[in-house]
Amino acid sequence: MGKADFLSPKAIGNRIKAKGLQKLRWYCQMCQKQCRDENGFKCHCMSESHQRQLLLASENPNRFMDYFSDEFKSDFLELLRRRFGTKRVHNNIVYNEYISDREHVHMNSTQWETLTDFTKWLGREGFCKVDETPKGWYIQYIDRDPETIRRQEEQAKRKKQELDDEERSARFIEEQVRKGRDGKEKEETPVYTELKRESEEEKVLFSATQLSSRYQLITCNPCSSVLGSSALKAATSSTKRKDTSSGLDSRGEKKKKSALEEIMEMEEKKKQQQQVKTDHWLQPNIVVKVITKRLGEKYHKKKAIITEVRDKYTAVVKMIDSGDKLKLDQNHIETVIPAPGKRVLILNGPYRDTEAVLEGIDEKNFCATLTLDSGQHRGKRVDIAYEDFSKLA
């Protein structure tokens, strides 16, 4: 009897029965054939194709076992990476999703006898983080993709920079509050004394308002011209206008800025600097330090000179010690702060591409004082953050 037609009821019934998972005891991994019942599996084992596959496997059984083990491991890890990422998950949940594919490689044809053995092997080989709990074994995939590692390093660096900025602002506010508390003038207790005149004919004039020190007390004789009240008021008002316009208080002293006003000025300066800052800072002929560990201990924490800048974010550097040339991303290097008196180049901010001389370092505020040595602001002293300048080669 010939094979049933594709659209015949028998063929449709066979396809419906073949859907989904079947019993593992009636599956042949060598031939990758699933049988529906014991009789079908017995007929398959007696077939010529199955016998031929057995002869091939008997010649080199380790090769076939290694092949099935590699297939099982790669498919399992690919499902774990794609489905769960780096989340911690029970190993049985991942395995159940893996075997839902009827074309998967069965574990009984691999080098691992149980799922627990396979889980322990993943932990020993460094593919996953595994831990045993009363509920069973849990696994967590370790993503070693270079692009993922680069993104994680950038996120960690950005987070650290934000924390440093917040800590710096908090320190500055505490310092300003302390200065304001220490510099606060104590209120002077007035001392009252008896008014004495040398002669009874002498007249004394007082101003109703508080005057500066040179107008506090005016004495005159009857024969001399007496200062009228209108003239006194005019002198007082003119003195007040002069003191106010020059930023002085009523006692002729310069007004001190409050801590809030100084903080507002600092924030305004920071906003102006951020407006002209860019996310790339590489410049040729500056000294940098390699901070990535992916190149080995030979280059880690070693200094180099940038010889060429490509696409704004990539630098070709020449190692100072060995003379080797490397191509590095700007996230894998950092700026170098020289000793005071050395020349540096400003890499970011409003004074970008300006050469300067390092005068001193402010460790509390994570910045340095530089004297500009080129450009239209030559001779000006500015405070620049550590990451915005580097030593000139």
- Give per-residue pLDDT as tens, 56-97: 777 777 777 788 888 888 889 998 988 888 889 998 999 888
Query: For residues 177-189, b (16+ Cβ closer than 10 Å) or e, as one string?
Result: eeeeeeeeeeeee
Q: What is the mean pLDDT of residues 328-353?
A: 90
The phi and psi torsions of 167 (rounded to 5 degrees) equal -65, -40
Please check whether residue 252 lies inside any domain of the structure: no
- Per-residue pLDDT at 369: 92
Q: Which residues pair with 219 in a beta bridge?
A: 204
Q: Of all helices (H) and strands (E), which one includes residue 323?
A: none
Structural domain contains residue 257: no
215 in any annotated domain: no
Query: How confident is residue 308, by pLDDT bands cut at 50, 70 and 90?
Result: very high
Tens of pLDDT, residue by residue over 217-241, are 433 344 343 334 444 444 444 444 4
Average confidence score pLDDT of the chain: 77
Token pair in block for residue 381: 């002293």
Distance CA 304, CA 327 (A): 11
**Closest to 358 in 3D by CA, of 287, 296, 293, 299:** 287
pLDDT digits (tens, 9 = 90+) for 143-200: 877 777 777 778 888 877 777 777 888 888 888 888 877 765 554 556 666 656 655 5
Last residue of a domain, one of 112, 141, 170: 141
- Listed in sequence order, the residues at least 6 apart from 28 whose beta carbon sits closer than 8 Å to its beta carbon are 34, 35, 41, 44, 45, 50
Q: Is residue 373 in some structural domain? A: yes
Q: Which domain holds residue 354?
A: 276-391
Q: How confident is the model at residue 264 (pLDDT cuts 50, 70, 90)?
A: confident
Please report, as a single letter, which amino acid is at residue 375. G
Count, in order, helices (H) and strands (E) of the chain.
Answer: 9, 17
For residue 358, the domain's CATH number is: 2.30.30.140
Domain end residue (candidates: 118, 141, 164): 141
CATH code for position 36: 1.10.10.2030
User: Of 93, 113, 141, which residue constitutes the final position of a domain?
Assistant: 141
The token pair at 248 is 């002085």
Rounded distance between C-alpha atoms, residue 292 and residue 150, angstroms: 10
pLDDT (0 to 100) of residue 161: 76
Whether residue 249 is contained in a domain is answered as: no
Residue 53 CB contacts under 8 Å (≥ 6 apart), including other chains: 30, 31
Q: Is residue 97 part of a domain?
A: yes
Q: Is residue 314 situated within a structural domain? A: yes
3-state secondary structure of 321: coil
Q: Which residues pair with 130 in a beta bridge?
A: 139
Question: Does residue 152 form part of some domain?
Answer: no
Q: Which residue has the higher pLDDT, 228 or 341?
A: 341
374 and 367 Cβ atoms separated by less than 8 Å: no
Q: Residues 232-255: what's their mean pLDDT? A: 48
The total number of structural domains in the chain stands at 2
Tokens 């509920």 appear where? Answer: 135
- Cα separation, 82 vs 60, in Å, equals 34
